[in-house]
Chain A
Amino acid sequence: MSVFKLSRRDFLRVSGTAAGGVALGVMLPAGNATAGHSEHFEPNAFVLIDSEGNTTIHCGRCEMGQGISTALPAAVADELEADWSRVTVLQADGDSDKYGPQATGGSRSINTMYVPMREAGASARMMLVTAAAKIWQAEVDDCYAENHFVYNRKLKARLSYGELAAIAAELPVPEKPALKTKDQYRYIGKPLPRHDLGKVVVGERTYGIDTRIPGMKFAAIKHVPVYGGSVKSFDASEAEAMKGVEKVVNIPRFQAPYGSLGGIAVVANNTWTAQQALAKVKIEWDRGPHGGYNTNAYKAAMVEQVEKPAKPVFKRGDLKAAFDAAKVTHSATYVQGHLSHSPMEPMVSLVSVTEDACEVWASTQDPEGIQRTLGAYLGRAPKDILVHVMISGGAFGRKFKCDYVQEAAALSQAVGAPVQLAWSREEDTKTGYYHSTSVQHLEGAVDSEGNVTGWLHRSAFPTIASTFDPSIEWPREQELGAVINHPYGIRNLEVESGHAPAHTRIGWYRAVRALFEGFAFNSFTDELAYQSGMDSLEFFRKLYHNNKDPDQAEQVERSLAVLELAAEKGGWGKELPQNQGLGIAVHYSFESYLAMVVQVEVIGDDIKVHRVDCAVDCGEVLNTDGATAQMEGAVVMGMSLALYTEISFRDGEVVNSNFHDYPVLRTSEVPPIINVHFAENDYKATGLGEPGVPTFAPALTNAIFAATGKRYRSLPIKPVYS
């Protein structure tokens, strides 16, 4: 890791302020970054202090509600010994050379950027201290930084950061900045509020959809309803005659992973006119090769497939012998449907394409993806696409894919003006990138002492890889890694996969495969415990203790720790009123460890969750309130997908359209008590955007089983289109 000082030209260009400041960047060695979808490996980010002491910290990662634009800048500010009230956080434009990998997904922001951000702050602090020592002609060791000043112990004097900025800017950047120890933290590990809360409550936080520039037009779109289909013909005469309509545009499918599905769009002088005109365009579709996709039939076919031998992927030991010698054997099949992310802000961007420039304002998780996709679409260098990263009104993985940005670019080209395209909720629901539907068939063998001696795990799901390469019709080995690297100590293990060609676009959804892996692992463990006549917690303990693989020692230790913490806090084993039950689940994903105990009451069809206790080990916690909020949100999203959310296809088209038939959790059903308990340890900080979700559904269904004896193996429990 090396730290470099930006050139004066860069500093001026970025800051736009008068001279006399210190600007620092941070560079990671190539190969350290793990942004799976990035082509760039030169992260950097920086601090800026002007001569007044006003401090700007750029957040290179994309903000979508997860709080990264507070967590990372606060880590910088802490090491910098900055006064947080003097800090302005700015969302960085897309520029991976300057800010490092900006693709924000996989709960990787904290994992990859926490230490570099601290080093950026510490470097700046050391330079400010050195500058003060120079002025005083004092020893650096006699000087220290505190809350936006540098003090001299001997002289009993102080200089403000503003006074020091110009001198500090001339100093060499320290090779190895000294980081604070835990007891010196000012902001890290505290419940620091989001930096722009005040703007939210007065409606001044601007999201992608709020971008306004002179001369802009507004657009609405209707996509090809079936994946791979196209516009056969359309009649726009009535629409084009409407007052305020600029143009009706046929956007062909752009065959790139993040390209448009294709459709008809209307550009007009306001959104309403565009929507009204779009409804008047008569369109005939060519339905393409996927017009036969019916999810209920597809799931049934996948179930049939995994309930008999499938394609072997991994094998150890002698599974047959384990089953022959078992005291208890049991099998179960778990099924989950497609999910739509449905962030409150739909897909939206504003794009201006001119002959020599392309400027984008987008709610996005991946500015580099926009640069690549628009670069390919427009035939320009990715670097020539200027992307302003706007705050997303929720994203959950959906805004990683920039089809909506490419469409806005096509429209801007068509009308020769900047165009903002905002999808309707119906388009968001019907033409997304869906979380894969999945089936998993598990068979287990348990010996007379309650040890699981054999485990068969057959999975079938259309894979995300199919979005990038449609010829991929089976889950790949690496996508079964969480099963192959089984968390439990299982001597005899077989993993198989089933054929699952995709008939729609499959994409990352918050927690990705961990959603169904966590459901299957935890449900089946609870089932095996019951079949063996054992307490579930005791059974979980045994399974983890049986894992003696030294490579998994840390995973075992940390999984057990959160399991015990959740059990203790959630009152595992306590007496409950009639119709109530407790369920427990534990899962490791995205380098963080989660366990939950859910307390449920079931009367008839009414499922009421009274309480959830979450035990979280994400290593060092940067912001206790932010982390708690992530868990509260994970419980709510977990409950939505456990109870209600499923995207259903009939004849190739999504049946659902809006929140009435894609119902998400509303306030009356939210568990009134959601307790979040953090494991205390010194492990490195890891992300928490995704790992909170997978444990909720199985903890809930395990709790329902405890309360009623009814086992739900198919999610959602209350599908709209069954």
Chain B
Amino acid sequence: MSAVPALELIEATIHRPSWTVTADLSVAPGEWLALIGPSGAGKSTLIDMVAGFLPLASGALRIAGQDVTNAPPAERPLSIVFQDDNLFPHLSVFKNVALGLAPNRRVTRSEREAIERGLAAVGLGGKAERLPRELSGGERQRAALARAFLRRRPLLLLDEPFASLGPALRREMLSVLSEVRRGFSDPPLTIVMVTHHPEDAAGHADRVAFIEAGRIGAVGPTSQMLGETAPEAVRRYLGLDDRQDRDLERPERESS
């Protein structure tokens, strides 16, 4: 891992009157990092920070070695998929995806072919002319993913894009994601994914970061973070401690 990190947050901080989010983090090229933690802990704020929707109060942010602390969202080499409203409701799937390549002009013929291939890759072949409301929730997110992939940006931010989908659909989307990820080689695709479902991370992520009260509480390999060896705060969040607590408490009570 001697390569330049794909993403670096150096004491990147955002202040608001009632909360603060600070992050110190380094993500290697090609890595898949999952962000977990309680609601309101600052996971989405972290994503907004990286994407440039929230300016930093202090600290620095580098993407592939390049300082982007003050760069506007459009100039950061990344793509983002939100939980909802990724598509403009009045544009067809094709046009929505085309925005990723040519937001301000018509698509060229080669771009048109690339879009069609991209749609086919996420399983939306033949649905290019549909409007978002004619698609299911899963299909809408596939379209959003197709657009993100087509942009070929080396960093992909996922702000709970599968949160409103059922378990089977979520698994399917994740496998689409890892399928397409394999198609990125130089540079490889780096993914930062916010999720409320630890099992999403378990199958795919290389590392897991646990966010708590505006800070990165712990980072580590997925197997370690989600298993028996997880730090205490993470265990509490995952609800792993329940049984052991009771096991530990009982003898004490009996002895007292």
B and A form one assembly: no
